[in-house]
Amino acid sequence: SQAATEQKDMIKRDSLDMQLDMACIQYRMGLVKYKLGRYKESASHYKRSIRLYDEAAVNLRSIPTGTKYHNQTDETKSASMYEMHEENEREYLDEQYIEQRDDMREIVINSALASALNSLGMLYCEQQKMDKAEKCLTDAVRVHDGIREKRQILHEQLIGDESNIFLSEDVTTRNC
C-alpha cells in the first residue's frame, strides 16, 4: 500500500511536469502567432497556457512533499539521546528543504502564469480591448504580488538558516 501511494505520487509529479511542458509550449506558440500577426490564434494559445499554469499551481499543492517519517524501531529505542537528536535534526532539515524547494517551484510556475497573463493583456491592449486587457493585467499583478510575498517568506527562512550555502561565511568572503 505504501508502494502504491508512492507510485501515485510519482505519477502526479510526472503529470505535473508534462502539464508545465504543455503550458510552456502553448505560451511559446502564442508568442510565435503574435509575431506573425495572428492575434486571435495568439490569444487562444495564451489562454490555454494560462489555464495550464493555473491548474499546475493548484496541482503542485496537492502533491505530497515526499518527506519520510521513520517508525521507531528497536535500534532507535536503544540509540543514545545524542544520536536521536541528530536524526530528528536531519529529518527536520530535509523537511524544511523540501518545503523550500516546493515553494521555489510554485514561484516559478506562478512567474510563468504572470508572464502569460501579461502577454495576453498586452495583446488585448493593442487590439483596443481594454476591459479584457485590464482584467489580464490586474490578474498578472495579483499573481506577481503573491510571488513577492512567497519570496519574502523564503528570504526570511533562508537568512535564519545557517545551513544555507549562499549565506555561509566562506562563500561570501571568498569573492571579496
Which grid cell is 73? 524501531
Checking if the pLDDT of 11 tops 90, the result is: no
Residue 136 contacts residue 128 (beta carbons within 8 Å): no
Rounded distance between C-alpha atoms, residue 32 and residue 52, angstroms? 18
Rounded distance between C-alpha atoms, residue 136 and residue 141, angstroms? 9
The pTM score is: 0.67
Q: What confidence tier does 88 reach under pLDDT thresholds 50, 70, 90?
A: low
Q: Which CATH architecture has domain 2-65+91-163?
A: Alpha Horseshoe (1.25)
126-171 per-position pLDDT tens digit? 999 999 999 999 999 999 999 999 988 888 877 765 555 444 444 4
Q: What is the pLDDT of residue 40?
A: 95
